[in-house]
Amino acid sequence: MSIEIVSEQRCHGGVQGFYQHVSMATAGTMKFGVFQPPRIAERRMPVLYFLAGLTCNAETAAIKAGAQKLAAELGLILVTPDTSPRDTGIEGATGDWEFGEGAGFYLDATTPAFAQRFAMYRHVTAELPALIAASFNADIDRQGICGHSMGGHGALTIALKNPETYKSVSAFAPIVAPSRVPWGLKALPRYLGDDQVTWRAHDACALIEDGARFPGTILVDQGDADQYLQTQLQPHLLESACAAAGQPLNLRMQAGYDHSYWFIQSFIENHLLHHAIALRA
């Protein structure tokens, strides 16, 4: 597999780049961002994936989260995947910001309409790490994963299903139980079909209820002024599931913060340090 450079810029002594490649997983061109810290040529560095939310793309977190300065100091490679395949030509995949292009939910679709192109789980967990390992001086034995909103859902479910692969996990305002909230109830049947048993593998609370565990502490920050708190996010469900299962969780309710990247900027340092400690950056 080879990558094409879209752009590269100096940033905090390192390089913020955006790249694209032909994806076997999604049967099309996929874009992603990579921040390479200073001195990356001297040694392999750990990798932190940041999964963005609905309507976002490979540039959103790289531009808005403000993570590069501390990542440069800690020696963390930051990878920002896109949130879905693009230009799919699939009927119903555009025109709705809550579903389809820009809203891939980090799963592998199984319904006939979406299965060929919407394989974001395979892209993020297998294809993209292989590209990062081949193209950058990355230590993929030290990987962490973080995300926001839909991307927080992705980070939690991916880490819970692959605890041997990811050494750390955190999330900002994640969708913790998509099988019980409107965003998930719109997306899951269209991607996976109507059998709700299959949805449980893509629901962090259900995964924990069904026995999945992450060996470290899950860090979650949630603003108490988030406009989606009660309808779409419901972090108390994750808190209850973790408490019942004995899964370590650090859920921090942040007074006055909403769902935006201003919220993420305010606490990204805590998350990078959380990952750096686990990854021994």
Q: Which residues are catalytically annotated?
A: 149, 226, 259
- What are 47's strand-pairing partners? 77, 143
Give just the sign of the alpha carbon dihedral 235, 236, 241, 245.
positive
Interatomic CA distance for residues 236 and 131, integer angstroms: 37
Measure Cα distances from 170 to 29, 33, 112, 144, 157 in Å. 28, 19, 33, 8, 11
Interatomic CA distance for residues 58 and 33, integer angstroms: 6
What spatial distance separates the first Cα and last Cα of the chain, rounded to whole Å?
Answer: 27
Interatomic CA distance for residues 144 and 134, integer angstroms: 18
35 phi and psi angles, rounded to 5 deg = -100, 120
Interatomic CA distance for residues 171 and 155, integer angstroms: 7
Q: 3-state class of 16 per DSSP?
A: strand
Interatomic CA distance for residues 228 and 150, integer angstroms: 12
Residue 32 CB contacts under 8 Å (≥ 6 apart), including other chains: 18, 19, 20, 21, 58, 79, 80, 81, 82, 128, 131
CA–chain centroid gap for 231, Å, is: 21
Write out the two tokens for 236: 């108390």
